[in-house]
Amino acid sequence: MAVLASYPSLVLHLHHGQQYALETEWLGFTSSSNFRRYITQALQLAQQHRVTAWIANDVRLGAVRPVDLEWVANDVLPAMTRLGIKRFARLESQETLNRMLIGGMYQEATPALPFETRAFADIQEARSWACQ
């Protein structure tokens, strides 16, 4: 596992296996502008490294504004499709409200997407599955 980028509230990891996976490991709350900037950077790095899997490690992610969740559903997830993402693993936030809001967004948005999604409680299981 290599660190591709590090910010105060996010670390971007690259995992090697049968598939390359990018992991967004959120460390806490981030502003809306930084959230979008960091995710945009993650998409660019995913393209650069030709990843085919994404791990959204939201365990320590702070509150996310509904408008930012809408942006993820309408812009980020389709961009992942264009990148050729085949597997999307996610670990839910520890914060109850965040878990409900983000989980609801994924529940609505991901069935229409052409990649496999799965929720995990254990980061090692998520990484293993994503890199298969």
pLDDT in 10s for each residue of the chain, 132 residues: 799 999 999 999 999 888 899 999 999 999 999 999 999 999 999 999 999 999 999 999 988 899 999 999 999 999 999 999 999 999 988 877 777 877 777 788 777 788 999 999 999 999 999 998
Q: What pTM was computed for the model? A: 0.92
Length of the chain counted residue by residue: 132
Q: Which range of residues forms the domain containing residue 76?
A: 2-131
CB of 4 within 8 A of CB of 49?
Answer: yes
The pairing of strands 53-57 and 87-91 is parallel
Q: Give the C-alpha separation, 66 to 97, whole Å.
A: 12
Q: Give the C-alpha separation, 84 to 72, whole Å.
A: 17
State in Å, rounded, how far the first CA of the chain is from the last one: 15
Residue for token pair 């994503």:
130
Phi and psi at residue 17, in whole multiples of 5°? -170, -150
User: What is the domain count for the chain?
Assistant: 1
Q: In CATH, what number is assigned to the domain containing residue 61?
A: 3.30.750.24
